Amino acid sequence: MARMTYLVSVLIGIAAATSLAGAADVPQDIKGGKDHPLIRRYEGAVLAEYGYKKFDEYVLPSLPVVNNSCSKGKTIEGEVTHLIYVMPKDRSIVEVVRNYELEFKGKGYDAIFSAADEQESHACGRMEAYGGVPSADGKNRFTIYRKTMPEGESHIVFFAAPSFGQYVGPEGKFSIKDQVVVQFDVIVAKPMETNKLVGFVGAQDMADQISSNGRVSLYGLYFDTNKAELRPDSEPTLQEMATLLKGRPQLKLLVVGHTDNIGSYEENGILSQRRAHAVINALASKHGIAKARLTPVGDSFSAPIASNKTEEGRAKNRRVELVER
């Protein structure tokens, strides 16, 4: 779960008396980082930190402030992008913040939460590594923006603070004295991708492939090496197979076991046949599928779909196929 918009492990606000020996100016943009399409970069700013999750949870800060921290508010989900920019030295926090206020208003965003004072702003946007030390001039700014779009809501969590110390980030320690630092957390509502488990095929995909190709290869049925007992983590695929068969009561299938070419052809033939039997027995005993609808076949390594010279190829060849009969 994404943290509540704290600038974690990024800034250390250190009193002016603290030595900055060995700290250089912030260099070029962080490697691999990029601007978000919803956020225009301030002229002359450097992207100092970047993070991206295709799908994650994000807890919006809320009031009241308790023990110098904002409370946890609404949890939202979607694509989460984390950006931290260091502004040019000659730009004030007032100038930076007002530019972005105008930008977001012009794009149709509403400010759904703005810190009322320095305490709230610091509590909701403060940086843990920053040690909880407020800015020297009390001008921290924290606002949450929201916009409803056809594909769903997008939120921009905005925090700006004048720095008087060092930046400690992925690419080292840098002086950022008298420079404004701005964080954006951008959360765009998007559905989570499903069926992403390697080897997992759902009931509808099984039906579609059988209709198109007469067969479907399954990689979610797991056996230990040289064993024919199904492992417990095979259950999700067994459940999908049962759903397929119950939804199409006239469907009859060959359950075909395939192996790689490690070992003799005869031994693998016996092993693949036993594994096919194990699948049928599990469907019958746990899911009520009539055995008469299923025929076990052991194909050994007679029908590879990849080279057995590499582990990747052998992994593709170790499979169970359902073939319409």
Please report whether residue 193 resides in a domain.
Answer: no
Same domain flag for 125 and 156: yes
Name 282's Cβ contacts closer than 8 Å, sequence gap at least 6.
Answer: 230, 234, 238
How close are the terminal C-alpha atoms of the chain, in Å? 47
Query: Domain ends where: 136, 159, 188?
Result: 188
Please report whether residue 4 resides in a domain.
Answer: no
Same domain flag for 19 and 163: yes
Same domain flag for 83 and 111: yes
pLDDT digits (tens, 9 = 90+) for 311-323: 888 989 999 999 9
Please report whether residue 197 resides in a domain.
Answer: no
Please report whether residue 3 resides in a domain.
Answer: no
Please report whether residue 5 resides in a domain.
Answer: no
DSSP helix/strand/coil, 18: coil
Q: What is the mean pLDDT of each run of 10 residues along the chain (325 residues)?
A: 40 36 63 94 93 89 68 85 91 94 96 74 50 49 90 90 64 69 92 66 94 94 92 94 97 97 94 98 97 97 93 90 96
CATH number for the domain spanning 274: value is 3.30.1330.60
* Percent of the chain that is helix, strand, coil (3-state, to 5): 25, 35, 40
Quote the distance between the C-alpha of residue 57 and its chain's center: 9
Rounded CA separation 285/115 (Å): 61
**pLDDT at res. 164:** 54
Rounded CA separation 109/148 (Å): 8
pTM of the model: 0.57
Same domain flag for 118 and 241: no
Same domain flag for 320 and 266: yes
For residue 253, the tally of other CB atoms under 10 A from its CB is 24
Asked if residues 2 and 185 have their Cβ atoms less than 8 Å apart, the reply is yes
Asked if residues 175 and 159 have their Cβ atoms less than 8 Å apart, the reply is no
Same domain flag for 233 and 179: no
Asked if residues 248 and 216 have their Cβ atoms less than 8 Å apart, the reply is no
DSSP helix/strand/coil, 298: strand
CA nearest neighbour of 166 among 139, 129, 194, 192? 129
DSSP helix/strand/coil, 168: strand
Q: Rg of the Cα trace of the chain?
A: 29
Q: What is the tally of structural domains in the chain?
A: 2
Same domain flag for 285 and 136: no
**pLDDT at res. 17:** 32
Please report whether residue 272 resides in a domain.
Answer: yes
Same domain flag for 116 and 78: yes
Rounded CA separation 107/148 (Å): 11
Please report whether residue 41 resides in a domain.
Answer: yes
For residue 282, the tally of other CB atoms under 10 A from its CB is 19
**pLDDT at res. 26:** 57
Rounded CA separation 294/324 (Å): 10
Same domain flag for 112 and 239: no
Q: Residue 134: which domain range?
A: 11-188
DSSP character string of 106-152: HTT-EEEEE-SSHHHHHHHH--TTTTTPPPTTS--EEEEEEEEETTE
Please report whether residue 80 resides in a domain.
Answer: yes
Same domain flag for 40 and 148: yes
**pLDDT at res. 72:** 74
